[in-house]
Amino acid sequence: MTMAKPKAPRRTLESYSVKHMNKTIKAGDCVLMRPSDPSKPSYVAKIERIEADSRGANVKIHVRWYYRPEESIGGRRQFHGTKEVFLSDHFDVQSADSIEGKCIVHSFKSYTKLDAVGNDDFFCRFEYNSSTGAFNPDRVAVYCKCEMPYNPDELMVQCEGCSDW
């Protein structure tokens, strides 16, 4: 009878240098993760914890996923911005090798104040419950009397809900 090898203790890393992108990541950072399907856009995730084995190898990151509107139960709606993501309650462990780059997930307010939106800029104004499809808060700032939420990609334009300005 062979005894199972005891599982090597894993340790938490303060930060980790991602070789292929020459950047250091730490808990709290947001990153773009390579999807298994190359036709899909990169996944956006927030790093909760970084772990390695006792030799400092086999680095895994504990992430909390951001969902894009199309990945949510309700799908993309008119008022969702092109760079909008929802902070989900979906946690996961991924290999650090699947990190494609760092990104910034801004608050809605700071996103609307950006002079220019880069490829790595996203914003979040909702938390999303991946099992029920519920959003928190379930109400957001609205800029029209018909109560369509505001899409930050569109400057004051005609409301798609009621054609008012």
pTM attached to this predicted model: 0.81
User: pLDDT tens per residue, the chain (165 residues)?
Assistant: 666 666 668 899 999 999 888 899 999 999 999 999 989 999 999 999 999 998 888 999 999 999 999 999 989 998 899 999 999 999 999 999 999 999 999 999 999 999 999 999 999 999 999 999 988 887 665 555 565 666 777 654 455 555 554
SS3 at position 86: strand
Cβ(16)–Cβ(60) under 8 Å?
no
| Interatomic CA distance for residues 121 and 85, integer angstroms | 10
CATH hierarchy code of domain 11-140:
2.30.30.490
Q: How many CB atoms lie within 10 A of CB 153?
A: 15
